[in-house]
Structure 1
Amino acid sequence: MSDVIDVVLEQWRREGPDLDLSPMEVFGRLARLTRVVESAVDQVFARHGLRQGEFDVLSALRRSGPPYTLIPSELSAVLMMSRAGMTNRLDRLEAAGLVVRSMDPADRRSFRISLTERGLEVIDATLTEHAANLHRLASGLSAEDTATLSRILRGMLEAHA
């Protein structure tokens, strides 16, 4: 079965036969797949009133376990983002009633971010639908293919870390 990447590669083989474009085949398909996955994921998040970054914050808090509380520097480190970017996300989540900020009793210069009861409900519902959506998106792969692809992608990421 041929796709648009095959067409592009065939055109380049004709115009630049001396070029090795085999990586283009991989990365072209990865780019197209990324757009498909991002769109499907964004639709799930939108149904729950979230954006990707907000989901990331709520997920980090949920994964931290009870009492679902982290300080901003911990959130920034887990999400690999600046404190300034984190502040905007936290403002939106707090306005939506999904998180609450409180002073850190151990350090009065800092505060804690905690999931509210509503935030816990939203992240649990969103995560349930998100997991089902990812399974649907990966349904064309066998368990063995999934493990192999994951191993390959991990290796590629490690090579560029």
Structure 2
Amino acid sequence: MDATSSDPIDAIATAWKRELPNIPVDSIGIVTRIWHIAKLLGDDRTRLLREHHADTATLDLLSTLRRQGEPYRMTTRDLAAASLITAGAITQRVDRAEAQGLVTRATRRNARTVDIELTPLGRTTVDNLVAAVLTRESELLAGLPQHQQDQLESTLRPLLDHLSTVLEAGRRPSHVGHPHAPNK
């Protein structure tokens, strides 16, 4: 951390080191950069989805169904678990997507289980959205050589695993929709 650095995050760390010399500031260089990257990527994705008349909740719902494979159908309970959100939030997402003709809802005979299935329009929509998002993300990462992308991925994986273990124990996190987020 160079005090003469023009990097604003380094400047923040330097200022805190000066103002609170007994407090560790090493995390600023990592955590603040991750927060800033997340904000930039989130804002960019929101803009891209808005251009396609969609939002992250719709992308998450449709992507979860699409990744399931044919017949692109899941119960509302399975959708909630895979999306890491509440059943009530899934109901709201399904209501909106159903009104747009992207999914259909069918109650099973036992009337307690509801299946949600992609419509042909929903499949076309999610395929187009995922293609747009993943193409954009590839373009954004193209500024780093492939070996640095590989290194970053291999560094972030254990960090995410560690933080998930430490911070998510005993609670369900909120989930920001992502076309290649894992089904759990």
Alignment of 1:1-161 (within 5 A): 2-104=6-108, 107-160=110-163, 161=165
Q: Secondary structure at the match of 1:22?
A: coil
Alignment partners' CA distance in 1, 2:66 and 2:36: 31
RMSD over aligned CA atoms reads: 1.5
The structural deviation recorded for 1:102 is: 1.2
Aligned residue type for 1:138 = L
CA distance in 1, matches of 2:64, 2:73: 9
User: Which amino acid is the alignment partner of residue 158 of structure 1?
Assistant: D
Shift, 1:117, TM fit? 1.0
* Matched residue type, 1:94: E
Identity in percent: 28
- Runs of 4 or more, structure 1, over 4 Å off, are none
Conserved? CA contact 1:70–1:112, under 8 Å: yes
Q: CA deviation at 1:79?
A: 0.6
Structure 1 distance, partners of 2:43, 2:112, is 40
Higher relative contact order (CA 8 A, sep 6+): 2
SS at match of 2:144: coil
8 Å CA contact retained: 1:48, 1:122: no
Q: Structure 1: how far apart are the matches of 2:49 and 2:123?
A: 15
TM-score after normalising by structure 1: 0.92
- Could you tell me which amino acid in structure 2 is paired with residue 79 of structure 1? S
State TM-score, norm by structure 2. Answer: 0.81
Give the distance between the partners of 1:104 and 1:111, measured in 2 at CA. 6
Task: Return 5+ residue gaps in structure 1 as ranges.
Answer: none
Q: Where in structure 2 are there 5+ consecutive unaligned residues?
A: 166-184
Name the one with the larger helix percent: 1
